[in-house]
Structure 1
Amino acid sequence: MSDTLVRLADNFWSVRGEFRIGGILDVGTQCALVRLADGDFVFLDSYTLTDPIRDEIDALTDGGAKVKAILNLHPFHTVHCEWMHAAYPQAALYGTARHLAKFPQLPWQETKCEDAALAERFGADFDFSVPQGVPLVCDDESVHFSSVLALHRESGTIHVDDTFNHLKKGFPLSLLPITGRLGFHPTLAKALEKRAGAADDFREWAIDLGIRWSDARRIAAAHNAVLEISSGSFPDLVGEALGRVKPVLDKHRAQFG
């Protein structure tokens, strides 16, 4: 797919990018540019921008001078962090604990993206949520379920990597059961903490998220697609997604209590 900059709302732009598994199968990836209420900008996640897209973004941000922060929300989306910092070195660089450990040479902010203090810094524009019942970073590093989810309040846009999936691809990805609907990442069974109550904690987190973010109007999901939804429909979509993973949660309860 060709990289594109899509304006999803007055102050929210989504970069729909490319990520190839094995150098062949493009499952897509994303970052977002958001104009804050004070007129400055932040990136959600990092991506190596093509020259045409960077030109568009620089035209919006006074040559990049108005980009004040880069928030790297998914602990395993690290490929483009160094490029993004080099492109916008004046922007405060935020990451998860895994980002800080992986790139200790970069000038990370002390506040991590999973910290409650992030909401104190950006709470006027965003609400953030970290899934419960699953670790942000699994011991098995092939499991990329959890991330820090972000809701841009003004536009009603949820930016999410992996935790929720929405896929629109041709064959052979069109054969996957997650195609065309909102669902949880298929690694949930491996991600759930191996303790009693983890399945219930995850379910309660998801239900609460649906209620708190019920006014959401779209979901920009990695790796592939943006899902436009009607205000008030997010709780039902979350409920349907939970229904589809009920066997996973029930199996976990049977094993751990």
Structure 2
Amino acid sequence: MQQLADTFWNLRGVHRIGGLIDIGTHMSVAQRPGGGFIVIDGCALEDEAREALLALTSQGARVEAVVHVHPFHTLHVEATHALLPSAALYGTARHRERLPALPWAGAPVEAWGAEHPLDDTLDLSVPAGVDFVCLDESVHVASVLVRHRASGIVHVDDTLNVLAAPGSLGELLPQSSLRMHPMLGKALKTEPGATDAYAGWARDLALRWADTPKVCAAHSAVRMLAPGGFKDEVEAALDKVSGTLERHRKQYG
């Protein structure tokens, strides 16, 4: 468990493709103004990480909510709930459909507005212009991006990527800057204005969250940013997909 600020922690877990290639996954812990905790996402934890999480949260008693923010990250939802059963459980509509027996609270997370159950602690953003759940289930572009107000740290699953070498190589080889998801073209809505909606969302996010110091990205790494780096890197990431956006705009308007 890596402490990234006085009130924010990130934990990395194992996620293997075909039982062989570990692409990694993650979860984060954010402290609320009253001293309780919110767990963002869930992942398979080794014993040391599990014990660190429980020690931080008084054996889970101080975890007030668990919120799952990527519709296709479902493998560890039940295990996380079993570890923290007293916490209010929030998730997307797809989480609810896949795991209907769990005690889901409130509305689906992607439908939350500015006033939501965790708005004393977290700011949220859902990308515009893309399907939140694509018919092609290999396309995992959209998620609910989360920003912890007290620390400014962003937790994101797939929508923004950081390319980093696995394991010890990650300490030797440089990370990439922030990138848009490589399957963006398949997630854009097939309707006029979709590309402009997506680009507008990205530019607005870059401005509103410009002072973000760190980004915790699923499957890769924590991206440490210089002042103003979030704005610069999100805008540069948008530039890198300009060809994808232009092709879509020519086809759909």
If the TM-score is normalised by the length of the shorter chain, which range does it land in? Answer: over 0.9
Q: Could you say which residue in structure 1 is the equivalent of 2:179?
A: 183
What does the per-residue CA deviation read over 1:188-235, in whole Å, with 9 as the maximum and x for residues that have no partner?
000000011100000000000000001100100011100011232211
Structure 2 residues without counterparts, runs of 5 or longer: none
| Preserved CA contact (<8 Å) 2:155 2:216 | yes
Q: Tell me, yes or no, if structure 1 residue 85 matches structure 2 residue 66.
A: no
> Match for residue 24 of structure 2?
28
SS at match of 1:120: coil
**Percent of aligned positions with the same letter in both sequences?**
45
Whole-Å Cα distance in 2 between the matches of residues 170 and 71 of structure 1?
27
Closer, same or farther: CA 8–179 of 1 in aligned 2, 3 Å: closer
| Aligned partner of 1:252 among 237, 248, 252 | 248
Aligned CA distance change for structure 1 residues 246 and 75 (closer, same or farther; 3 Å) = same
When residues 180 and 145 of structure 1 are mapped into structure 2, their CA distance, relative to the original with a 3 A threshold, is same
Is there any run of 5+ residues in structure 1 with no aligned partner, and where? none
Give 1:116 deviation, angstroms.
2.1
CA offset digits 1:118-138 (Å, max 9, x no partner): 742212211100000001101
- Corresponding residue SS for 2:202: helix
CA deviation profile, 1:150-202 (whole Å, cap 9, x unmatched): 0011111000000000021159x99xxx9622101101000000011100000
Secondary structure of the corresponding residue to residue 247 of structure 2: helix
Shift of 1:110: 2.5
Alignment-derived partner of residue 135 in structure 1:
131
**Which residue matches 1:102?**
98
1:75 aligns with 2:64: no
- The answer as to whether partners of 1:166 and 1:180 remain within 8 angstroms in 2 is yes
Shift of 1:48: 2.5
Helix, strand or coil: the match of 1:234?
helix
Distance 2:35 2:20 in 1: 40
Q: Does residue 148 of structure 1 match 2:144?
A: yes
**2:41 corresponds to 1:41:** no
Q: CA RMSD in A?
A: 1.8
2:153 maps to what in 1? 157
Aligned residue pairs total 249
Aligned to 1:224: 220
Cα distance in 2, alignment partners of residues 93 and 136 from structure 1: 20
| 1:13 Cα offset (Å) | 0.7
**Distance apart, 1:54 and its partner CA:** 1.6
Letter in 2 for 1:233: G
Q: CA deviation at 1:8?
A: 0.8
Deviation (angstroms), 1:240: 0.4
Is the 2:130–2:194 contact (alpha carbons within 8 Å) kept by the matching residues of 1? yes
For residues 129 and 247 of structure 2, the distance between their equivalents in structure 1, rounded to whole angstroms, comes to 14
Whole-Å separation in 2 of the counterparts to 1:108 and 1:170: 34
> Partner of 1:17 in structure 2?
13
Could you state the TM-score of these two structures normalised by the residue count of structure 1?
A: 0.93
Preserved contact between residue 29 and residue 37 of structure 2 (Cα < 8 Å)? yes
Q: TM-score, normalised by structure 2?
A: 0.94
Q: 1:48 to 1:170 in 2, by over 3 A?
A: closer
CA contact (8 A) 1:206 1:238 kept: yes
CA contact (8 A) 1:119 1:126 kept: no
The answer to whether the 8 Å contact 1:145/1:188 transfers is yes
**1:11-48 alpha-carbon deviations (Å, 9 max, x no partner):** 11100111111111111110011111110011100113
Cα offsets for 1:62-97 (capped at 9, x unmatched): 111001110000000000000011111101010000
Judge which range, 61-70 or 19-28, deviates more: 19-28
